[in-house]
Structure 1
Amino acid sequence: MKHRTFSVVICVYTEERWTDILKAVESVRRQSLPALETLVVVDHNPRLLDRLTEELSAGRGTASPAEEVRVLANAGPRGLSAGRNTGIALSRGEFVAFLDDDAMAERDWLRHLAEGYDDPRVMAVGGRTLPLWASGRRPAWFPEEFDWVVGCTYRGLPPGRVPVRNVLGGNASFRRTAFDAAGGFATGIGRDGDRRPLGCEETELCIRLGRALPDAVLLIDDRAVIHHRVPAQRERFRYFRTRAYAEGLSKALVSHSVGIGKGLETERRYTTRVLPAGVVRGLRDALLGRPGGAGRVGAIVAGVAAAAAGYAVARARARSGVAFSHGPITAYAPRLEGGTP
């Protein structure tokens, strides 16, 4: 395998995840394919910025040596998209990988991502994200088909290394030239600090990338594994329902930006094939007296209803001219200052 240079971007925003952030950085430091650099981008939190600068730039604790880690302030508006764009603009690697701030990458994560780029048509490679439940195990009622609610790979994605419409943002990488062609992550979509848990900024980018480069290939390789922490509050049904509703809002944003055809292409298969199969499994388990079967059926129905309601509300507001995102949808083109070494 040709040597690949990766810049890893970890976007952070709260001191409540201090220990998680250090573990995420440490997991990058231990990669079998060493990263060129780790960029920790702080989202408008001066105290966290100062604290991480002192901890990581000095190479203290579990952090990497100073030459491997840079702590940066988000140079754009508040939110995950602008934070990622800041990391892209200041990165130096041939490839840019993204890792959630409350996740840990397995040792061969970057190596497996890199292997996908042996084909020059490949513009993005994502991996598999497994949940680390705060309670120690999956809630019996929580369907695997909805693991995207907690930022993890959901049941229904094909196994192995396969082409996809879009990678999942918390465990993803892009060829640097992808951003030259399509620009960066759109602001106005996705997480914005403590606001409603929107998402889909990576979906919108990947669709835009496919339009800019029609021959581009995007892959998911399920050997590129990270483990994502799920806090106790996200194991509750209330968060499940809220996140599903927010996903409906996000899908409407994406459809408004790139068109309904591409915006809902993957979701049609998910709702017509994956979810009905999940309902059948849940009903079967309920009939056999297995724990959680009926709960999973109810959660699937409730999740679909919440997402559909969010989508309908957002589309109605869009038609009436009422804003439903946390800002205008802007496909920000990061200024690539680093350059490929």
Structure 2
Amino acid sequence: MTALPTSVVIVSRGRGAELSRCLLAVSQLDHPAFEVIVVADPEGLAAVARSGLAGRIKTVPFDAPGISAARNAGIAAAAGELIAFLDDDAVPEPAWLRHLAGAIETTGAEAAAGYVRGRNGISFQSRAVAVDPLGRDLPLEFDGDAPVVPQVPAGAAVKTVGTNCAFRRDVLLALGGFDPAITFFMDETDLDLRLAAAGGRVAVAPLAEVHHAFAPSPRRRADRLPLDLADIGRSSARVMRRHAPWADAGRRFAELRAEQEARIARHVQAGNCPPEALGRLLATLERGWAEGLRAPLEGGPWLARASPPAFLRFRPERPFGADLVLAGSLLAAGRLRREAARAVREGRRTSLYLFDHTPRRHRLRFTADGVWEQSGGLYGASDRGDPPFRFWRFRARVERECARTRLVRATVVSEGK
């Protein structure tokens, strides 16, 4: 397989620390021909400058709310045949871009969607899903981890998520880009439905994995409690007006309201917010829906067709060599973490496994030193399909974890205990 030149677009606003971590992970990607475009506010641009990567990254100043307009600015700066999107509060596995771009190339599809793991690094936030014109998710089932173009019901589309998807550049231009009136929520859904209506296909790439933390924003807290639902209401109304039979839209809004009510009620029950927050937040949802119904429904295009700028191939300061695995007891964590950090500085993608003799569930994190650190009980579950307890010998457990992650993070050398 030849690697198509690919542009990675990252939009960042008010998350300098998260962006720095994201860029550290991006610098470990094993794709041979990609560029990085950061569309960011002053905080994000300062994070790029501090990273030491400024001369190897395209930056686009953008200090306004609105993910769709920001992504369009990134597309305009992109020169790759493919354009991939990644959120600033996410980190990709080292083989992410190779699998994501490869899914488009091997299947001939117009776009690709990968899998997203949650903040514990183990559970999935998102896998293969279709979406209908009313914004309802329809799970897709298939076996294996090879790229596949799923069959979806008439009128539906394979759903992409903005933190892990890629499109052919010429397809994005033909579709007119993202609708800038959709500032948050369903921005990808609108694009996916327009792509499907034009006959485009989306490949699912199970091995293209991204870890997504859901960092706080003006719309939600760190515990994912929403602070305002108006954007969700506005975007839902706009997408349904464009794609759905109007007779069904009112019923769908009632379902959406019930979903958000249940979501907030769980926070109230957990003590995360007072009961009166429920009515206030639902009022913002209804206000946004009403505004979305009144707003003009222009149809784009929102991107001008122009010759792409020069491709700025990303080259790490030090090419990465053979990947490294370190493993040991939690009692030796300090020493092993120092060894792992040193290995990353020397140009080795490094996985660190720290076990204690318990059935504690595992967690996985990408550290500030650029290390993939997995910790938990020697006998605990590292996959949500695992039993809560299973006896392992230490070396066999390390080998099992290396095998489990081998295709998303090439781990070929094992040292330490």
Task: Out of 306-315 and 92-101, give the one that drifted further.
Answer: 306-315
| Match of residue 214 from structure 2 | 230
Structure 1: runs of 5 or more not aligned: 149-153, 191-197, 280-291, 297-304
| Match of residue 253 from structure 1 | 238
For the residues of structure 2 that align with 1:234 and 1:158, how far apart are their CA atoms?
32
Residues 107 and 187 (structure 1), Cα distance of their counterparts in 2 relative to 1, 3 Å cut: same
Q: TM-score, normalised by structure 2?
A: 0.53
Structure label with greater radius of gyration: 2
1:6/1:94 contact within 8 Å kept: yes
Q: Deviations over 1:268-299 (max 9, x none)?
A: 8xx8xxx9xxx9xxxxxxxxxxxx9xx89xxx
- Displacement, 1:137? 9.6
| Match of residue 34 from structure 1 | 32
Residues 336 and 201 (structure 1), Cα distance of their counterparts in 2 relative to 1, 3 Å cut: farther
- Displacement, 1:180? 2.7
| Match of residue 189 from structure 1 | 182
Match of 1:169 among 150, 162, 176: 162
Residues 95 and 24 (structure 1), Cα distance of their counterparts in 2 relative to 1, 3 Å cut: same
| Match of residue 11 from structure 1 | 11
Structure with the higher fraction of residues in helix conformation? 1
| Match of residue 205 from structure 1 | 191
Calculate the aligned-residue CA RMSD, in Å.
4.3
For the residues of structure 2 that align with 1:155 and 1:208, how far apart are their CA atoms?
17
Match of 1:69 among 57, 62, 66: 57
SS at match of 1:84: helix
Q: TM-score, normalised by structure 1?
A: 0.64
Q: Percent identity?
A: 27
Alignment of 1:1-341 (within 5 A): 1-14=1-14, 17-42=15-40, 45-46=41-42, 48-49=44-45, 51-52=46-47, 54-56=49-51, 60=52, 63=53, 66=55, 68-74=56-62, 78-119=65-106, 121-132=108-119, 156-158=139-141, 160=145, 161-163=148-150, 164-190=157-183, 198-211=184-197, 213-214=198-199, 216-231=200-215, 234=221, 236=223, 238-239=225-226, 246-256=231-241, 258-261=242-245, 316-317=290-291, 321=294, 323=295, 330-338=300-308
For the residues of structure 2 that align with 1:218 and 1:69, how far apart are their CA atoms?
28
Structure 2: runs of 5 or more not aligned: 130-136, 151-156, 271-278, 312-417
Residues 121 and 340 (structure 1), Cα distance of their counterparts in 2 relative to 1, 3 Å cut: farther
SS at match of 2:88: coil
Higher relative contact order (CA 8 A, sep 6+): 1
For the residues of structure 2 that align with 1:306 and 1:217, how far apart are their CA atoms?
40
The letter of the residue matching 2:17 is T
Residues 128 and 310 (structure 1), Cα distance of their counterparts in 2 relative to 1, 3 Å cut: farther
2:118/2:125 contact within 8 Å kept: no
Residues 21 and 316 (structure 1), Cα distance of their counterparts in 2 relative to 1, 3 Å cut: closer
- Displacement, 1:170? 1.6
